[in-house]
Amino acid sequence: MNIKKICEEYYPLVLGYLLTLTNGNKDLAEDLTQETFYRAIKNIKSFRGDCKVSTWLCQIAKYTFWQYLDKSKKYKQVPLDELMNVSAGELVEEMYIKEETNKVLYESIEKLDAQTKDVVLFRLTGELSFKEIGELLNKTENWARVTFYRAKAKIGKEMSNYE
């Protein structure tokens, strides 16, 4: 395996996934991405090849993130207004509605059980296929698909209750 090629090809994917897990904290996501690739390079010989490299790296990234949370115990979310790029012409009301909608969406995702939340985040942020998600979580492709759509329905219901 060409380690340099793997790092160049999968860095944006892993960074994007970790940006979502860290709620847009770019500095933290970059640090965790570097740690992820360090661990991957250190353990490259343990990669059996029974899943895609991207799946393997996202799994390492997830565990790196959870270890960070366990160690820090100080994790706090970045305010949503810092995450949003607001154009100058946007109305204050529109900004408020976007902020509130995003807040409710994040809260809805956080209320899901851990495995369901993983499926949603892998699908939306990692842009992984249902097959890759199934492999990553040691489940079937169909399980990942059903779990995602059930989560989407729960989130949709909660979002409609908010409106």
Domain end point (choices 51, 76, 101): 76
pLDDT, position 34: 93
Which of 73 and 49 is assigned the larger pLDDT? 49
Comparing CA positions, the residue from 113, 141, 115, 147 lying closest to residue 129 is 141
Q: What is the CATH number of the domain that holds 128?
A: 1.10.10.10
Domain end point (choices 76, 93, 118): 76
Which of 89 and 147 is assigned the larger pLDDT? 147
Considering the domain architecture, whether residues 83 and 67 belong to the same structural domain is answered as: no
Mean pLDDT throughout 74-97?
53
Q: Which of these ranges, 23-37, 65-79, 114-128, has the smallest mean pLDDT?
A: 65-79
Largest interatomic CA distance in the chain: 54
Considering the domain architecture, whether residues 45 and 120 belong to the same structural domain is answered as: no
Secondary element (H or E) of residue 11 = helix 3-21
Mean pLDDT throughout 142-152?
92
Domain end point (choices 44, 76, 108): 76
In this structure, are residues 121 and 57 in contact, taking their beta carbons and an 8 Å threshold? no
pLDDT, position 88: 46
For 162, the domain range is 79-163
Q: Which residues contact 75 (CB under 8 A, 6 or more apart)?
A: 68, 69
Model-level pTM?
0.50
Q: Which of these ranges, 24-28, 77-81, 102-106, 129-133, has the smallest mean pLDDT?
A: 77-81
Say how far apart CA 87 and CA 96 lie, in whole Å: 13
Q: Which residues contact 19 (CB under 8 A, 6 or more apart)?
A: 25, 26, 29, 125
Considering the domain architecture, whether residues 70 and 90 belong to the same structural domain is answered as: no
